[in-house]
Amino acid sequence: MKRILLAALVALSSCTVQKINKSLTKSEVFDKGHLGFMLLDPEKDKALVEINSDKYFIPASNTKIFTFYAAYSILGDSLVNGLNYLEKGDSLIFWGTGDPSLLHPDLKDQTAIDFLKASDKKLFLLDNFDQVDAYGPGWSWNWYPYYYAAERSALPVYGDIVRFEKKKGDAEFTVYPDRFKSAIEKNTEESSRTYSFSRKEKENRFPYRFQPEAKDEQFESDIPFLTSPELTKTLLEEATGKSITMISSKSYFEEEPKKLLTAPADSIYAQMMKISDNFLAEQLMFLVSDQLTNKLDIADAFAYAKENLLSDLPDEPRWVDGSGLSAQNMFTPRSIVALLGKIREEVPLEKIKAYFPAGGESGTIRSWYAADPGQPPYIYAKTGTLSMANSLSGYLLTKSGKILHFSCMMNNYAIPSSELKTELQKVLYYIHDRY
């Protein structure tokens, strides 16, 4: 009797897998581009479905899964290093580590400001800004006014953005940091949206348009500002109320610095993964580099991670930035699934749920992949979206109690991404319901 029951269960499982495979390979939607898919049952160490799983795809923000794993492995989940510094007689010499939390409008960490304020020494900012390119490889120049492409920096302040906010009933905008309030320029053209802020390409001037009939609506917008060593020094002086001298002596980089711990890494990981924050992803990889070498060499950080953390993946990652903005990144579905397995082994499940977006509940998939009414989320996964790429990779919880690992990578689709998500939603719910 037991053998008959086991055979029936195996047959049922096999039938389910066949239907899953057919729903992907025979779909009129997925047939309109290039699809890569892998579904793994980690308990059995068995791939249930594989479609082009060994082919390279542009991952978009699925790249952040790699960034998260590298950062978690090197930085851990406690406090990050916010400043490197040396004390020389009556002088305090400090420089940036890439920490994105300093006065960030959401993270709001001011540990470094309090530290500099409390010092009785003369303050010297050591110039290491040339170690960081503002844009990553393959980024488009015309992304400069959009939040998703905030400039990278050795020592970010305020998240390298200006936040324009207006609550209903307010007469004026709140501008953070308020030093940019005088840089707002009202445009006489009407906007198609309530308010629309931008930035001039070569200067920190912020024109905006609005709909006159919608002036009392609530509004928030984050616009990158143009960074420079001089502006960073000025922002720090304003925040500390102290004079700071910029110096460029490279010999100080040869000394072992003291390190000032600032923001919880946990909070950075959660925001980076849930809302797919590109700026935080980029800066995390500079923090990794600083932790490894006391220098900000993001290419070295990728090389170290590939050699020491990811050498057991089936296919070598082609990895050039932390965020996935670059179309030069290329990963395979089976390598992403393998990485998801490594994360499961090393990161507690409750932390995974806290970091990854939850279907129907939080982050970039709060409007997709919802569970049945009254039930907890069944999808914890990272999205990825560029004009030529859509991805979703993560963990799928089934009604039978299994946790499956999956990666779906979709490239070169000339259809709305909502059509791809709708089709994928059907497939993932079927797996959740039947497997």
CATH number of the CATH domain containing 335: 3.40.710.10
pLDDT of residue 323 exceeding 90, the answer is yes
Element (H, E) at 74: helix 63-75
Residue 401 lies in a domain: yes
* Distance of alpha carbon 380 from alpha carbon 369, whole angstroms: 10
Q: What is the pLDDT of residues 377-393, one digit of tens each?
A: 999 999 999 998 999 99
Does residue 302 share a domain with residue 196?
no
Q: 196: domain range?
A: 157-226
Mean pLDDT, residues 257-274 taken together:
97
Residue 360 lies in a domain: yes
Does residue 173 share a domain with residue 67?
no
Q: What is the pLDDT of residues 285-311, one digit of tens each?
A: 999 999 999 999 999 999 999 999 999
State the chain's maximal CA–CA distance in angstroms. 85
Q: How many CB atoms lie within 10 A of CB 35?
A: 24
Q: Given the structure tokens 């039930």, which residue do they identify?
A: 375
pLDDT of residue 9 exceeding 80, the answer is no
Element (H, E) at 346: helix 333-346
* Distance of alpha carbon 235 from alpha carbon 393, whole angstroms: 39
Does residue 423 share a domain with residue 300?
yes
Does residue 402 share a domain with residue 297?
yes
DSSP three-state, residue 220: strand
Q: What pLDDT shows up at residue 216?
A: 65
Residue 3 lies in a domain: no
133: which strand partners? none
User: In the chain, how many domains are there?
Assistant: 2
Q: How many CB atoms lie within 10 A of CB 376?
A: 12
* SS3 per-residue string spanning 87-98: EECCEEEEEECC
Q: What pLDDT shows up at residue 7?
A: 45
Q: What pLDDT shows up at residue 16?
A: 87
Q: What is the pLDDT of residues 199-222, one digit of tens each?
A: 999 999 999 987 766 666 788 999
219: which strand partners? 166
Evaluate whether 38 touches 333 at the Cβ level (below 8 Å). yes
Residue 140 lies in a domain: no
Does residue 312 share a domain with residue 220?
no
Residue 272 lies in a domain: no
Q: Given the structure tokens 């700071």, which residue do they identify?
A: 244
Q: What pLDDT shows up at residue 5?
A: 40
pLDDT of residue 8 exceeding 60, the answer is no
| Those residues with Cβ within 8 angstroms of residue 46's Cβ, 6 or more apart along the chain or in another chain | 40
Residue 308 lies in a domain: yes
Q: Where are the alpha helices (DSSP H) in 149-245?
A: 229-240
Mean pLDDT, residues 248-259 taken together:
95
Does residue 193 share a domain with residue 61?
no
My answer on whether omega of the bond before 42 falls inside 30° of 0, hence cis, is no
Q: What pLDDT shows up at residue 173?
A: 85
Does residue 419 share a domain with residue 333?
yes
pLDDT of residue 192 exceeding 80, the answer is no
Residue 25 lies in a domain: yes
Does residue 305 share a domain with residue 390?
yes
* Distance of alpha carbon 156 from alpha carbon 417, whole angstroms: 33
* Distance of alpha carbon 381 from alpha carbon 406, whole angstroms: 9
Q: What is the DSSP string of 15-56?
A: HHHHHHHHHHHT-TTGGGSEEEEEEEETTTTEEEEEESTTS-
Mean pLDDT, residues 245-251 taken together:
95
**In this structure, what token pair is assigned to residue 256?**
């072992």
Q: What torsion, rounded to 10 degrees, do the Cα atoms 356, 321, 107, 359 define?
A: -20
pLDDT of residue 193 exceeding 90, the answer is no
Mean pLDDT, residues 398-418 taken together:
97
DSSP three-state, residue 331: strand
Instruction: Report the mean per-residue pLDDT for the chain.
Output: 94
Sign of the CA dihedral running 31, 36, 41, 44: positive
Residue 83 lies in a domain: no
Q: What pLDDT shows up at residue 191?
A: 59
pLDDT of residue 124 exceeding 60, the answer is yes
Q: What is the pLDDT of residues 330-364, one digit of tens each?
A: 999 999 999 999 999 999 999 999 999 999 999 99
Q: Which residue has the higher pLDDT, 189 or 388?
A: 388
pLDDT of residue 420 exceeding 80, the answer is yes
Q: Which pLDDT band, with edges at 50, 70 and 90, does 20 fall under?
A: very high
* Distance of alpha carbon 177 from alpha carbon 221, whole angstroms: 13
Percentage of the residues of the chain whose pLDDT score is greater than 70 = 94
* Distance of alpha carbon 308 from alpha carbon 335, whole angstroms: 15
Does residue 419 share a domain with residue 295?
yes
397: which strand partners? 403
Q: What pLDDT shows up at residue 3?
A: 54
Mean pLDDT, residues 18-23 taken together:
93
Q: Which pLDDT band, with edges at 50, 70 and 90, does 78 fall under?
A: very high
